[in-house]
Amino acid sequence: MIFQLTHEPIAAELTATPADGALAVFVGVVRNNHQGRAVSFLEYEAYGDLALSEGAAILREAEEVFPLTQTRCVHRLGRLEIGEASIVVEVTSGHRGEAFAACRYIVDEVKARVPIWKKEHFVEGDAEWVNSESEPSDSKRVLLSEILRHWSGWESDDLKAFQIVDVREPYERPQVLQSPGDRTLHIPYSEINQHLARFAQGDPYLLVCDSGTRAKVLARDLQSKGFGNVFALSVGFRDL
Protein backbone atom coordinates (compact mmCIF):
# COMPACT_ATOMS: atom_id res chain seq x y z
CA MET A 1 0.00 0.00 0.00
CA ILE A 2 1.54 3.28 -1.14
CA PHE A 3 0.05 6.78 -0.97
CA GLN A 4 2.36 9.66 -1.85
CA LEU A 5 2.39 13.37 -2.64
CA THR A 6 5.18 14.66 -4.85
CA HIS A 7 6.33 17.67 -6.84
CA GLU A 8 8.07 15.39 -9.33
CA PRO A 9 6.52 13.90 -12.51
CA ILE A 10 4.59 10.69 -11.86
CA ALA A 11 3.88 7.51 -13.80
CA ALA A 12 2.57 3.99 -13.28
CA GLU A 13 5.05 1.65 -11.59
CA LEU A 14 3.29 -1.46 -10.27
CA THR A 15 3.80 -4.84 -11.89
CA ALA A 16 1.47 -7.77 -11.41
CA THR A 17 2.51 -10.68 -9.22
CA PRO A 18 2.22 -14.28 -10.46
CA ALA A 19 -1.04 -14.60 -8.50
CA ASP A 20 -2.65 -11.54 -10.13
CA GLY A 21 -5.05 -11.70 -13.01
CA ALA A 22 -5.51 -7.95 -13.40
CA LEU A 23 -3.60 -4.68 -13.11
CA ALA A 24 -5.85 -1.60 -13.31
CA VAL A 25 -4.35 1.85 -13.79
CA PHE A 26 -5.95 5.30 -13.81
CA VAL A 27 -3.98 8.38 -14.83
CA GLY A 28 -5.56 11.82 -14.49
CA VAL A 29 -4.01 14.45 -16.77
CA VAL A 30 -4.16 18.24 -16.96
CA ARG A 31 -6.50 19.45 -19.70
CA ASN A 32 -6.34 22.81 -21.47
CA ASN A 33 -9.83 24.04 -20.59
CA HIS A 34 -12.15 24.60 -17.64
CA GLN A 35 -15.81 25.57 -18.00
CA GLY A 36 -15.25 26.91 -21.50
CA ARG A 37 -12.10 28.89 -20.66
CA ALA A 38 -8.61 28.14 -21.95
CA VAL A 39 -6.20 26.99 -19.24
CA SER A 40 -2.44 27.54 -19.40
CA PHE A 41 -1.38 25.51 -16.33
CA LEU A 42 -2.54 24.26 -12.92
CA GLU A 43 -1.27 24.42 -9.37
CA TYR A 44 -2.02 21.88 -6.66
CA GLU A 45 -1.67 22.46 -2.93
CA ALA A 46 -2.29 20.03 -0.08
CA TYR A 47 -2.65 19.96 3.67
CA GLY A 48 0.32 17.58 3.84
CA ASP A 49 0.06 15.40 6.95
CA LEU A 50 -3.71 15.16 6.84
CA ALA A 51 -3.70 14.45 3.10
CA LEU A 52 -1.24 11.60 3.59
CA SER A 53 -3.18 10.06 6.48
CA GLU A 54 -6.53 10.33 4.68
CA GLY A 55 -5.07 8.94 1.46
CA ALA A 56 -3.61 5.98 3.32
CA ALA A 57 -6.97 5.41 5.00
CA ILE A 58 -8.67 5.28 1.60
CA LEU A 59 -6.22 2.64 0.36
CA ARG A 60 -6.79 0.59 3.52
CA GLU A 61 -10.54 0.80 2.96
CA ALA A 62 -10.11 -0.37 -0.63
CA GLU A 63 -8.03 -3.34 0.50
CA GLU A 64 -10.70 -4.26 3.06
CA VAL A 65 -13.56 -4.05 0.56
CA PHE A 66 -11.90 -5.57 -2.52
CA PRO A 67 -9.59 -8.61 -2.84
CA LEU A 68 -6.47 -6.66 -3.80
CA THR A 69 -2.83 -7.64 -3.66
CA GLN A 70 -1.30 -4.18 -4.21
CA THR A 71 -2.48 -0.56 -4.11
CA ARG A 72 -0.67 2.63 -5.08
CA CYS A 73 -1.83 6.23 -5.41
CA VAL A 74 0.43 9.20 -6.12
CA HIS A 75 -0.78 12.80 -6.48
CA ARG A 76 1.23 15.69 -7.90
CA LEU A 77 1.67 19.02 -6.14
CA GLY A 78 2.94 22.35 -7.40
CA ARG A 79 2.79 23.60 -10.97
CA LEU A 80 1.62 21.20 -13.69
CA GLU A 81 1.66 21.87 -17.41
CA ILE A 82 -1.02 20.80 -19.88
CA GLY A 83 -0.85 17.06 -20.50
CA GLU A 84 1.06 16.21 -17.32
CA ALA A 85 -0.24 13.49 -15.01
CA SER A 86 -1.83 14.86 -11.84
CA ILE A 87 -2.78 11.55 -10.21
CA VAL A 88 -1.91 7.90 -10.74
CA VAL A 89 -3.92 5.09 -9.14
CA GLU A 90 -2.88 1.44 -9.55
CA VAL A 91 -4.28 -1.77 -8.10
CA THR A 92 -3.66 -5.45 -8.69
CA SER A 93 -6.13 -8.23 -8.07
CA GLY A 94 -7.00 -11.74 -9.08
CA HIS A 95 -9.84 -10.55 -11.32
CA ARG A 96 -10.51 -7.54 -13.55
CA GLY A 97 -13.91 -6.68 -12.06
CA GLU A 98 -12.52 -6.11 -8.59
CA ALA A 99 -9.52 -4.25 -9.99
CA PHE A 100 -11.67 -1.83 -12.01
CA ALA A 101 -14.06 -1.25 -9.10
CA ALA A 102 -11.26 -0.67 -6.59
CA CYS A 103 -9.44 1.72 -8.90
CA ARG A 104 -12.57 3.82 -9.34
CA TYR A 105 -13.31 3.71 -5.61
CA ILE A 106 -9.86 5.08 -4.80
CA VAL A 107 -10.06 7.85 -7.42
CA ASP A 108 -13.51 8.97 -6.28
CA GLU A 109 -12.65 8.91 -2.57
CA VAL A 110 -9.37 10.78 -3.05
CA LYS A 111 -11.20 13.48 -4.99
CA ALA A 112 -13.91 13.76 -2.33
CA ARG A 113 -11.92 13.42 0.89
CA VAL A 114 -8.22 14.20 0.56
CA PRO A 115 -7.42 17.88 1.26
CA ILE A 116 -5.83 18.77 -2.07
CA TRP A 117 -6.79 22.00 -3.85
CA LYS A 118 -6.45 22.92 -7.52
CA LYS A 119 -5.87 26.40 -8.91
CA GLU A 120 -6.66 26.99 -12.58
CA HIS A 121 -4.44 29.54 -14.36
CA PHE A 122 -6.11 30.90 -17.49
CA VAL A 123 -4.46 32.15 -20.66
CA GLU A 124 -5.86 35.63 -19.99
CA GLY A 125 -3.63 35.83 -16.94
CA ASP A 126 -6.15 35.43 -14.12
CA ALA A 127 -6.58 32.38 -11.91
CA GLU A 128 -9.14 30.83 -9.60
CA TRP A 129 -9.43 28.00 -7.13
CA VAL A 130 -11.77 25.38 -8.49
CA ASN A 131 -15.14 25.23 -6.68
CA SER A 132 -14.55 28.48 -4.79
CA GLU A 133 -17.56 30.75 -4.81
CA SER A 134 -17.49 34.29 -6.14
CA GLU A 135 -18.64 37.25 -4.10
CA PRO A 136 -22.42 37.68 -4.49
CA SER A 137 -23.64 41.05 -5.73
CA ASP A 138 -25.80 41.44 -2.64
CA SER A 139 -23.59 40.08 0.13
CA LYS A 140 -25.76 38.74 2.91
CA ARG A 141 -25.17 37.81 6.50
CA VAL A 142 -26.08 34.21 7.26
CA LEU A 143 -27.21 33.20 10.72
CA LEU A 144 -25.83 29.72 11.36
CA SER A 145 -28.77 28.60 13.44
CA GLU A 146 -31.04 29.26 10.44
CA ILE A 147 -28.71 27.34 8.13
CA LEU A 148 -28.68 24.37 10.45
CA ARG A 149 -32.44 24.47 10.88
CA HIS A 150 -32.77 24.43 7.10
CA TRP A 151 -30.24 21.62 6.68
CA SER A 152 -31.04 19.28 9.53
CA GLY A 153 -34.10 20.43 11.42
CA TRP A 154 -32.10 21.43 14.49
CA GLU A 155 -33.34 24.38 16.50
CA SER A 156 -30.88 27.03 17.59
CA ASP A 157 -31.18 25.95 21.24
CA ASP A 158 -29.54 22.67 20.24
CA LEU A 159 -26.44 24.60 19.16
CA LYS A 160 -25.82 26.51 22.35
CA ALA A 161 -23.54 23.79 23.73
CA PHE A 162 -21.34 23.81 20.62
CA GLN A 163 -18.43 25.99 19.67
CA ILE A 164 -18.94 26.52 15.94
CA VAL A 165 -15.73 26.43 13.88
CA ASP A 166 -15.84 27.68 10.27
CA VAL A 167 -12.86 26.03 8.54
CA ARG A 168 -13.34 27.59 5.11
CA GLU A 169 -10.40 29.39 3.54
CA PRO A 170 -10.69 33.19 3.31
CA TYR A 171 -11.40 33.07 -0.43
CA GLU A 172 -14.43 30.83 0.26
CA ARG A 173 -16.21 33.30 2.53
CA PRO A 174 -18.52 35.49 0.48
CA GLN A 175 -21.00 35.03 3.30
CA VAL A 176 -20.37 36.34 6.79
CA LEU A 177 -21.05 33.54 9.24
CA GLN A 178 -22.74 34.12 12.58
CA SER A 179 -23.59 31.65 15.29
CA PRO A 180 -25.78 32.11 18.36
CA GLY A 181 -23.99 34.64 20.54
CA ASP A 182 -21.44 35.42 17.79
CA ARG A 183 -19.19 32.63 19.08
CA THR A 184 -17.97 31.35 15.71
CA LEU A 185 -14.26 30.65 15.32
CA HIS A 186 -12.83 31.24 11.85
CA ILE A 187 -9.83 28.93 11.47
CA PRO A 188 -8.82 28.08 7.88
CA TYR A 189 -8.53 24.36 7.22
CA SER A 190 -4.98 24.82 5.93
CA GLU A 191 -3.91 26.46 9.22
CA ILE A 192 -5.65 24.21 11.73
CA ASN A 193 -2.46 22.64 13.11
CA GLN A 194 -1.22 26.11 14.02
CA HIS A 195 -4.30 26.70 16.18
CA LEU A 196 -4.72 23.44 18.10
CA ALA A 197 -4.20 25.35 21.35
CA ARG A 198 -7.56 27.02 20.73
CA PHE A 199 -9.31 23.66 21.10
CA ALA A 200 -10.02 22.34 24.59
CA GLN A 201 -10.23 18.57 25.01
CA GLY A 202 -13.68 17.61 26.19
CA ASP A 203 -15.43 20.70 24.85
CA PRO A 204 -17.97 20.14 22.04
CA TYR A 205 -17.15 21.58 18.61
CA LEU A 206 -19.12 21.62 15.37
CA LEU A 207 -17.05 22.10 12.20
CA VAL A 208 -18.54 23.60 9.04
CA CYS A 209 -17.06 24.18 5.58
CA ASP A 210 -18.08 24.79 1.98
CA SER A 211 -19.12 21.24 1.09
CA GLY A 212 -18.90 19.20 4.30
CA THR A 213 -15.96 17.09 3.11
CA ARG A 214 -13.12 18.97 4.80
CA ALA A 215 -15.13 19.34 8.00
CA LYS A 216 -15.57 15.55 8.18
CA VAL A 217 -11.90 14.85 7.43
CA LEU A 218 -10.77 17.40 9.99
CA ALA A 219 -13.17 16.09 12.64
CA ARG A 220 -11.65 12.61 12.30
CA ASP A 221 -8.15 14.07 12.52
CA LEU A 222 -8.96 16.06 15.67
CA GLN A 223 -10.64 13.04 17.24
CA SER A 224 -7.45 11.04 16.63
CA LYS A 225 -5.55 13.77 18.50
CA GLY A 226 -7.73 13.33 21.58
CA PHE A 227 -10.50 15.87 20.94
CA GLY A 228 -13.36 13.45 21.42
CA ASN A 229 -16.30 15.85 21.11
CA VAL A 230 -15.59 17.21 17.63
CA PHE A 231 -18.38 16.84 15.09
CA ALA A 232 -18.83 17.89 11.47
CA LEU A 233 -21.82 19.10 9.52
CA SER A 234 -22.19 16.71 6.59
CA VAL A 235 -23.29 19.44 4.17
CA GLY A 236 -21.88 22.88 3.51
CA PHE A 237 -22.45 26.41 2.34
CA ARG A 238 -22.62 25.46 -1.32
CA ASP A 239 -25.84 23.56 -0.51
CA LEU A 240 -27.69 26.75 0.41
Complete domains list, the chain, with CATH: 2-129 (3.90.1170.40), 141-239 (3.40.250.10)
Does the model's pTM come out above 0.75?
no
Question: In 180-212, which positions are buried (b, 16+ CB within 10 angstroms) versus exposed (e)?
Answer: beeebeebbbbebeeeeeebeeeeebbbbbbbb
pLDDT at 49 over 60: yes
Average pLDDT (186-192) is 86
Decide: 122 and 38 in contact? Cβ < 8 Å.
Answer: yes
Q: Is 60 helix (H, G, I), strand (E, B) or coil?
A: helix
What pLDDT, on a 0 to 100 scale, did the predictor assign at position 233?
80
What pLDDT digit, counting tens, does each position of 100-153 carry? 989 988 998 898 888 888 999 999 999 987 743 333 333 334 545 555 555 555
pLDDT at 33 over 70: yes
